[in-house]
Every structure is written in C-alpha cells, then in structure tokens.
C-alpha cells in the first residue's frame, strides 16, 4: 500500500473540509478546537492504518472519526462544555446527539462561508493568506513557513493573532447578504490574488509547494464561481488571469530550477487546456458594465499566451497597460507598460519614458533600462544591469541578471 502518499493527499483535501465544517458548527471563537480535532483525526489514521491496513473508504473513515472526536470533545471538555453546549443544544433536540454534517453540500457551503469570514476587512492581508492556507487549504505550519520564507514560530504567532482578531471581531461564519456580496467580495478576491502571486513569484525553492499555492488559489476562486451569487465578472476575470499565468508553469523554469524568461520559453510546454479555460472565463468576465484591474491584467495575460510578436499584440498590450495604470498605479505595471512601449515605438522612445519613472530603488527598473540600452549603448546597458544586481535580493533574480551581464561582456570582447 502506498500509505505514505495517500495520507498527505487525504490530509490536504480532507483536513480543510473537516476543519471548515467544524468551524462552521462551533463558531469562529473555536477555530483552534476545530483544527485540533481535524489534526487528531489524522493522527489516529497514522496510528491505526499502518497496523490494520487502509480502510475501504478512507474518507468515510476520517469523517466518522472526526464526528466521534467532535462529540467526545463536546461531552468531555469542561471549558468547552460550558462555552459551547448551550449554543449547540439550542439547535439539537433533547436526547439527540449533535450532528456533524459532512455532506458535500455542507462542506462546500462551510468552506465558502469560512472564506468570507477569513477575508474579513478587519484581518490584515498577510494573516488572511496564512489563515486561508491553514484552514481552507489544509497546509501545515511548516509548509506555510516555507512558502513565506519564514519560520514556524512567526507563522504560529501570526495565525494566533489572526484567530484572536476573528474572535474579538465576532466575525460570523455565514454568507454575506446578497446586497453586501459585491463589497465583501473585494477583499476575498484580493486575498486570492495575493495567494496566487505568493506561489507564482515565491522565492521558495520548493517547486511543488509553489505550484500548490497557485492551484489552491485557483480552486478557491473556482468555488466562488460555482456559487451563483459570487459568479461575477471580476471573479471570472481573476480566474482567467490565474489560468493564463498558470499555463506557463512548466516553461518558466528549466531542469535546474532556474527562471526562464518569457521570450526564451518553449511554448510547446504551455498548458493549452489552462489557456482555453482562461479564455472561457475571460469571455464570462466580459458581461458586466465595469472593468476591474483583473479584467485588464487577464487581457494582458491573454495576449501573452500568443507567442508570436505582432504589432497588434503589443499595441493591444500597451493600451491595456495604459488603462490598467489609469485605474490603479503600480510600479510593476509602469515598468511593464514601458516594455510594451518599446515593442510598439522602439527602444529610444521607451528609454526616454523609462527614465521619467525614476524607480531607482527597484531592481526591475534597472533591468528594464539594461534591456532597452542593450542594442543602443552596451556600456550603459552594463551599468544598469550592475545596479540591478546590487539591488536584487533573490538567488533566482541574481542569476538572471548575471547571465545578462555575462552576455554583454562576452559581446564586447
């Protein structure tokens, strides 16, 4: 039996379901109890399965054990008893055992409601991502620490503070009323966007983990789309954006784990299925009367799924960046716009515009200038790349810049 593989897999998928249902049942003030019961359930599996063999239906086994543990907990724990029992009894007819509903419907509802609760405006964004990873994605503390390039203690503290905050704010685990959904959805989408970026741009060397972060963000966004009240244009635009980016997973790194820049990527490694899925959601996104930043970013990402450099492609990308920047400025969008400008109007125009940006503490500013100067003034290109290298923080970035410097010096000799 391949128990070593099956348990981590089940852990991911079932831990989050059990936790969400128990959180929903016990309330936000008992999130840690829900997590403990879910953890103990898996501990039991680890203790029993190696000796007795894998049960016929491992998921059902886990649910039964989780239910029993929850009931035992309700009965035994003194503190818990006093705090929770009155609330639970209110919903449970006399003489019946409290039911823990692990039906697929209740699991899906509980997870979505938890998503809204965790992405409550009162919780700092960083903590939202951590909580989402722990409770909704079933990530272990070690994994979260690795993903954030942090350590267990820091993550534990951060999650503890976030749970305290949820408790203090008395955030209810429920669907927001229809009239509030649009507003409450925005922080949820921001968290999904950040969670995806965390994986996509993560410095962590663990490739499986990085991709998992992205896939989890996509799974949760998919859940929002499966729930009709949140199947809205900007949610579809966000999922389209994620699909287009994720389609390049395999092409972005070479066999040594080094970054491969877009124009050097082997497009036969791009995932066509994800590109089609993205295109489908982008078309779904074009139904409303409001364009979000996700719409512009998804459209830009769509044009990047066409490898061939055409005037039309770059003209469209440039106009989309113009609109994105009008809506919301970000240094990275400003730099990428300038890159698109160079494709449309040539490097000299782009250099003039790039130098106006004055993002002199941003390594990508110098990387861009280095690239733009390459064919015009190799010496200036070299100087810019050296400044970029001095600012670069991660090994992957340093490596890319160093390769550029090496190519330039070799060309000069």
Partner 1 sequence: MNEYALIMRHEDGSKIASPEQMQAWMKQTMDWIGTIAAQNKFVGGTGLPFDGASVVGHNGVVTNGPFGDIKETIGGFITVRVESLEEAIEFAKGCPVLQAEGNSVEVRRIAKNDGTH
CB of 334 to partner 1, least distance (A): 4
Stretch that binds partner 1, among 40-48, 144-152, 334-342, 383-391 (CB under 8 A): 334-342
Going by C-beta distance under 8 Å and a sequence separation of 6 or more, which residues neighbour residue 213? 133, 147, 195, 196, 198, 199, 202
Query: Which of 326, 361, 393, 413 is in the footprint of partner 1 by CB under 8 A?
Result: 326
CB of 365 to partner 1, least distance (A): 12
Instruction: State yes or no: residue 51 binds partner 1 (CB under 8 A).
Output: no
Instruction: State yes or no: residue 18 binds partner 1 (CB under 8 A).
Output: no
Phi, psi dihedral angles at 259 (to 5 degrees): -65, 140
Instruction: State yes or no: residue 334 binds partner 1 (CB under 8 A).
Output: yes
Instruction: State yes or no: residue 245 binds partner 1 (CB under 8 A).
Output: no
Of 51, 55, 68, 52, whose CA–CA distance to 10 is shortest? 55
DSSP 124-144: -HHHHHHHIIIIIT---HHHH
Of 79, 85, 105, whose CA–CA distance to 97 is shortest? 85
d(CA 371, CA 404): 9
| Radius of gyration, alpha carbons of the chain | 25
The residue assigned the tokens 């009931």 is: 71
Going by C-beta distance under 8 Å and a sequence separation of 6 or more, which residues neighbour residue 325? 333, 334, 337
Nearer to partner 1 (CB atom), residue 48 or residue 357: 357
CB of 370 to partner 1, least distance (A): 18
Total residues contacting partner 1 by CB under 8 A comes to: 18
d(CA 347, CA 354): 10
Q: Looking at the DSSP assignment, which residues form a beta bridge with residue 259?
A: 253
Stretch that binds partner 1, among 129-137, 257-265, 298-306, 311-319 (CB under 8 A): 311-319
CB of 362 to partner 1, least distance (A): 13
Instruction: State yes or no: residue 319 binds partner 1 (CB under 8 A).
Output: yes
The residue assigned the tokens 């997973």 is: 249
Instruction: State yes or no: residue 277 binds partner 1 (CB under 8 A).
Output: no
Instruction: State yes or no: residue 356 binds partner 1 (CB under 8 A).
Output: yes
Instruction: State yes or no: residue 322 binds partner 1 (CB under 8 A).
Output: yes
Instruction: State yes or no: residue 362 binds partner 1 (CB under 8 A).
Output: no
d(CA 331, CA 335): 6
CB of 303 to partner 1, least distance (A): 16
Binding site for partner 1 (CB under 8 A): 315, 318-319, 321-323, 325-326, 329, 333-334, 337-338, 341, 353, 356-358
């Amino acid at each position: 039996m391949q128990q070593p593989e099956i348990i981590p897999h089940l852990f991911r998928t079932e831990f989050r379901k059990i936790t969400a249902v128990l959180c929903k049942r016990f309330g936000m003030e008992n999130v840690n109890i829900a997590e403990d019961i879910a953890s103990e359930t898996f501990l039991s599996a680890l203790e029993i399965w190696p000796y007795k063999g894998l049960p016929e239906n491992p998921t059902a086994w886990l649910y039964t054990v989780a239910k029993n543990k929850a009931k035992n907990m309700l009965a035994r724990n003194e503190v818990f008893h006093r705090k929770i029992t009155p609330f639970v009894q209110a919903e449970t007819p006399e003489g019946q055992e409290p039911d823990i509903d692990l039906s697929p419907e209740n699991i899906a509802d509980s997870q979505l409601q938890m998503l809204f609760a965790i992405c409550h405006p009162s919780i700092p964004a960083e903590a939202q991502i951590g909580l989402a990873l722990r409770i909704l994605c079933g990530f272990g503390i070690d994994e979260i620490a690795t993903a954030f390039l942090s350590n267990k203690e820091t993550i534990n503290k951060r999650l503890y503070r976030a749970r305290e905050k949820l408790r203090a704010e008395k955030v209810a685990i429920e669907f927001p009323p229809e009239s509030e959904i649009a507003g409450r959805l925005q922080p949820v989408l921001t968290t999904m966007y950040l969670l995806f970026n965390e994986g996509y741009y993560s410095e962590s060397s663990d490739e499986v983990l990085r991709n998992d972060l992205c896939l989890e963000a996509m799974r949760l966004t998919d859940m929002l789309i499966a729930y009709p009240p949140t199947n809205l244009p900007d949610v579809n635009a966000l999922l389209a954006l994620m699909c287009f980016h994720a389609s390049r997973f395999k092409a972005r790194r070479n066999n040594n784990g080094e970054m491969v820049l877009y124009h050097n990527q082997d497009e036969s490694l791009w995932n066509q299925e994800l590109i089609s899925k993205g295109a489908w959601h982008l078309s779904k996104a074009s139904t409303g009367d409001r364009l979000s930043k996700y719409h512009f970013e998804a459209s830009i990402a769509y044009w990047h799924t066409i490898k061939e450099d055409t005037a039309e492609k770059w003209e469209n990308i440039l106009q989309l960046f113009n609109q994105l920047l009008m809506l919301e400025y970000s240094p990275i969008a400003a730099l990428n716009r300038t890159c698109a400008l160079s494709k449309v109007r040539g490097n000299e125009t782009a250099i003039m515009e790039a130098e106006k940006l004055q993002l002199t503490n941003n390594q990508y500013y110098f990387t861009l200038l280095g690239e733009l100067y390459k064919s015009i003034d190799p010496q200036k290109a070299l100087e810019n790349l050296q400044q970029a290298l001095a600012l670069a923080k991660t090994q992957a970035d340093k490596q890319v810049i160093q390769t550029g410097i090496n190519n330039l010096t070799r060309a000069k000799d």
